Amino acid sequence: MKTIHGITKGRIIRGLLSVVLLAAATQTFASDRILPHGPLTRLEFEMDKAVASGSLGDKSGELGDAAAGSDRYDVLRYDLDLKIDPSTKNISGTVKMVFAGDKEGGFSDFVFDLRYTLTVDAVTHLSGPLEFTHDADSVSVELPTPLAVGDVDSLVVSYSGLPRSPVVNRGLMFKVYPHDPANPEMGTSPIIANMSQPAYAQSWWPCKDKPGDKFMVTMQLTVPDTLFGVSNGTLVSESDADPGWKTYAWREDYPIAAYLVSVAISDYVLLEEACTTMGLGSVVPLKNWVFPFDVEDAIEDFKPLCEMVDFCESVYGAYPFLGEKYGHAEFLWPGAMEHQTVTSISHGSLDGDGNHAWLIVHELAHQWFGDSLTPDIWADIWLNEGFATYSEALWFEHTVDQNAYFTYLANGRNEQEWTNQGSVYDPVPVFPGRVIYDKGSWILHMLRGRMGDGPFFGFVEDWATGIDRRDGTVTTQEFIDLATSWADEPLDDFLWPYLKKTILPQIIFDYEIGPGNAGEDTKLSVTLHQNQWPHFDNVFPLVVTTATGVTTERIPLKTSSNTVELEYSAAITKVELDPDKWVLWNEITRTVPQGLTRVYPNPSAGGYIKFGYKLEQSARVEVRVMDSMGRQVFYHDLGTVQPVSGEDEYGGNEYAWNVQTVSGARVASGIYWVTLEIAGQRSVSKFSVLR
């Protein structure tokens, strides 16, 4: 036992660091595969599968698919007793499932998930063995007594086989690392670990593989006695098993989702640190299992971990799994995974230079967002990744300054990538790329700018610690409703367009400075236009510099345009719209005004009349023709129209009208007006018909 530098660091009361040699690690790993984003929402995808197959068809882990019939019951507890053999890459054991009838009563067809590559050896009940059918990746069992709503029952699944990875770097992975990366001839050791997100738990253990059903779990892990088996929660016991084998018994005392259940097995070195946070005084034992040759690097990289726990508690409330641990288990994978109480972290992230602090705080933040608050369905995955990524920016604001915070967010803004990957809400597949991380983080940043620091951070702590949410499941609408209560204004129209649409607001910013009540250059007229559809509901910071100081105004914009006039006591010297980038938007420059440019021939002798117009970008276009009495004689919604380049000042878009009403009747001679509405912005022109 030795202390870390023998001092108390910063706001953290540091404890003792013990290095317990359990026994090693690394190899070059393949890059993670990110599947391309498809054109369909999850609901559309499932509907298409249903039409094609008459059912939900084949399940897809990338889409978070699980057995449809499992929605009828609620899992209360799993007891896993597994033996994992790295020499044969075989898994065998039993899983006890305790469950209760939930949404539907009186059913006896009990369905759970297990990949077809594994073999169900038996399913037993208190009443005896049960018949079962293992079809594709689902197992169906006939319960001896129909399960009514609220009734509790249980069964035990005995299974075995080779848990093959369903896709690259997913499922339970059997790998090896060299004892000395520079000298491969020095030998290797096994490293077995899982990556089950979003729906790959079923590839290595029988379960209900859905995030919205959380449960209690125990894990008995039998492995070769030269290795150590790590799992969630608290290590209850270590005991000898058959000769050459050892069993590690773990218990998770907080609800957990299937994708967060973890095992990590290798000849680890354990780095332990007692951590008591200064802010709340929480005692959080820090335990990091690393490969032997990474010990020194890991000690350096994990130095700020206790400070990070303290920081997260200061923003999000008490560590969600008090009485248990927090830490890491090293594995061979291209990133990290926030397994409850024990993040799996890649060998490549432990290099001793502190450059992966962003990753460490990201995975730590997931203990609040993802592990304690778990998305009810995968459509809400941005609530996990957006908060964890935003925590990276907050960490740099905390350890450096606010400029570092703004810079970090700016570096994560990649609009083309976001557009290609699709929406933040309900992405397909569940992990389409960085959009749910980086744009999700930006949405939280914008919410902070909209609400102000006091209400925003009050809301965030309430969101993370509310007794009706903590240790449970959450949805995006619940998030928006709670934010609305803290902001004291409705936020649906602000947040949903950013969550569901790939386009960003396209803003024209015009202003004029003129004489005002206090003299020359003291009056400011500001006009904001948004030229995209749908309209976004934003409030833009306007920073105005005068001879006597700097003032920040807040300019709302939720329709096509808004004009405000402002008076100042001194001459205006500078006007900036959102200079610190609190809002996601793009500025566009007005050249030739958007809208109607000409009507011809005018007058018309009864043939087609062409309405020429200019578009600055793709937008919804509507055409109306009114007679001299103000009655509408024609209407047509052109839908979303793409701009066409013109060779002159008139622009290149045209609509030809046959001078008839919608019903096909010829319009009479007279004076008419055409109104062209582009994304809510209107332009009007007069013309004549002479028959």
Q: Could you read off the pLDDT of 338-366 as tens digits, one per residue?
A: 999 999 999 999 999 999 999 999 999 99
Q: Stretch 26-51: mean pLDDT, rounded?
A: 48
pLDDT over threshold 90, residue 625: yes
Q: How many residues does the chain have?
A: 691
Percentage with pLDDT > 70 across the chain? 90
Which has the closest alpha carbon to 264: 336, 322, 372? Answer: 336
Q: Stretch 520-539: mean pLDDT, rounded?
A: 93
Domains annotated for the chain, with CATH where assigned, are: 51-260 (2.60.40.1730), 374-499 (1.10.390.10), 506-587 (2.60.40.1840), 595-689 (2.60.40.4070)
What pLDDT is stored for residue 632 in this prediction?
A: 93
Confidence of residue 491 (pLDDT cuts 50, 70, 90): very high
pLDDT over threshold 90, residue 605: no
What pLDDT is stored for residue 45 in this prediction?
A: 63
pLDDT over threshold 90, residue 448: yes
What pLDDT is stored for residue 457 in this prediction?
A: 98
pLDDT over threshold 70, residue 9: no
pLDDT over threshold 50, residue 14: no
Confidence of residue 533 (pLDDT cuts 50, 70, 90): confident
What pLDDT is stored for residue 54 in this prediction?
A: 44
Establish whether the linkage from the previous residue to 534 is cis, with ω within 30° of 0.
yes
Q: Stretch 480-489: mean pLDDT, rounded?
A: 98
Confidence of residue 500 (pLDDT cuts 50, 70, 90): very high
Any long-range contacts for 555-558 (C-beta under 8 Å, 24+ apart)? 555/526, 555/528, 557/505, 557/507, 557/528, 557/530, 558/493
Which pTM value belongs to this model? 0.83
What pLDDT is stored for residue 35 in this prediction?
A: 35
Encoded tokens for 679: 């994304």
Confidence of residue 184 (pLDDT cuts 50, 70, 90): confident
What pLDDT is stored for residue 592 in this prediction?
A: 59
More confident residue, 405 or 187: 405
The 10s digit of each residue's pLDDT in 426-439 is: 999 999 999 999 99
pLDDT over threshold 60, residue 28: no
Pairing mode of beta strands 374-375, 473-474: parallel
pLDDT over threshold 90, residue 564: yes
Output the CA angle 631-634-640, nearest 5 degrees.
130
Which has the closest alpha carbon to 372: 361, 384, 360, 380? Answer: 384
What pLDDT is stored for residue 401 in this prediction?
A: 96
Q: Stretch 264-279: mean pLDDT, rounded?
A: 97
Q: What is the mean pLDDT of the chain?
A: 90
The 10s digit of each residue's pLDDT in 401-422 is: 999 999 999 999 999 999 999 9
What pLDDT is stored for residue 645 in this prediction?
A: 75
**Cα(380)–Cα(400) distance, integer angstroms:** 31
Per the CB < 8 A criterion, the answer to whether 661 and 633 are in contact is: yes
The 10s digit of each residue's pLDDT in 102-160 is: 877 789 999 999 999 999 999 999 999 999 999 989 999 999 999 999 999 999 999 99
CA–CA distance from 267 to each of 190, 381, 484, 559, 632 (Å)?
A: 8, 34, 50, 62, 80
Q: Stretch 615-641: mean pLDDT, rounded?
A: 91
Confidence of residue 27 (pLDDT cuts 50, 70, 90): very low
What pLDDT is stored for residue 186 in this prediction?
A: 82
The 10s digit of each residue's pLDDT in 294-327 is: 999 999 999 999 999 999 999 999 999 999 999 9
